[in-house]
């Protein structure tokens, strides 16, 4: 009788997890781009640095989805960069950083330095019409999964939608 009760409880819990969507999504992963995972901790660290450097928008929770958007596009950009054999120098990245005070501040902070490097690379590539055309071809073919808390990925638009795929409320 005891074994049957334990099995029944396990079955009910598994069913609830599957129905709620929690069975499919690791809550610690913000997004998966190709085979590369981006942690929620990474997203939160960058969002906090952005909020700290944005007095008009100090709520770091509101920066989480935009950070995921930039990371996903940057990771796709890294794939394009590798595929096309593109080299981007620190001097070129520095030009992007110097174009905006926020970019410069984020590039100096250890928590957002890698984020800004990837952002600068994507920005430079998307400003080149030939590379942007290649990006437009490759981007919709890259498998992207986003934690429903941040929204849903639209491969045709290569962006997050404002809609969540979750029964729970967005954390922003």
Is the CB of residue 12 less than 8 Å from the CB of residue 4?
Answer: no
Query: Is 109 a member of any domain?
Result: yes
Is the CB of residue 115 less than 8 Å from the CB of residue 106?
Answer: yes
Phi, psi of 168 (to 5 degrees): -85, 170
Query: Is 14 a member of any domain?
Result: no
Query: Residue 149: what pLDDT?
Result: 93
Query: Is 16 a member of any domain?
Result: no
Per-residue tokens: 140: 């919709």
Query: Is 168 a member of any domain?
Result: no
Is the CB of residue 110 less than 8 Å from the CB of residue 48?
Answer: no
Query: Is 120 a member of any domain?
Result: yes
Query: Residue 10: what pLDDT?
Result: 42
Which structural domain range is residue 38 located in? 28-160
Query: Is 100 a member of any domain?
Result: yes
Query: Is 101 a member of any domain?
Result: yes
- pLDDT tens series, the chain, 172 aa: 555 444 444 444 444 444 444 446 799 999 999 999 999 999 999 999 999 999 888 899 999 999 999 999 999 999 999 999 999 999 999 999 999 999 999 999 999 999 999 999 999 999 999 999 999 999 999 999 999 999 999 999 999 987 655 445 444 4
d(CA 135, CA 158): 10
Query: Is 141 a member of any domain?
Result: yes
Query: Residue 20: what pLDDT?
Result: 44
Query: Residue 32: what pLDDT?
Result: 97
Q: How many domains does the chain contain in total?
A: 1
């Amino acid at each position: 009788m005891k074994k049957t009760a334990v099995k029944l409880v396990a079955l009910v819990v598994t069913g609830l997890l599957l129905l709620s969507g929690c069975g499919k999504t690791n809550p610690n992963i913000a997004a998966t781009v190709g085979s590369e995972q981006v942690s929620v901790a990474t997203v939160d660290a960058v969002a906090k640095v952005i909020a700290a450097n944005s007095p008009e928008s100090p709520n770091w929770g509101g920066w989480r989805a935009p950070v995921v958007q930039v990371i996903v596009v940057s990771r796709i950009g890294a794939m394009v960069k590798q595929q096309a054999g593109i080299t981007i120098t620190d001097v070129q990245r520095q030009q992007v950083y110097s174009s905006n005070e926020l970019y410069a501040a984020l590039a100096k902070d250890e928590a957002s330095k890698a984020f800004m490097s990837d952002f600068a690379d994507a920005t430079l590539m998307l400003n080149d019409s030939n590379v942007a055309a290649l990006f437009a071809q490759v981007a919709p073919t890259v498998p992207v999964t986003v934690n429903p808390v941040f929204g849903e990925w639209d491969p045709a638009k290569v962006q997050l939608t404002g809609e969540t795929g979750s029964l729970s409320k967005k954390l922003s």
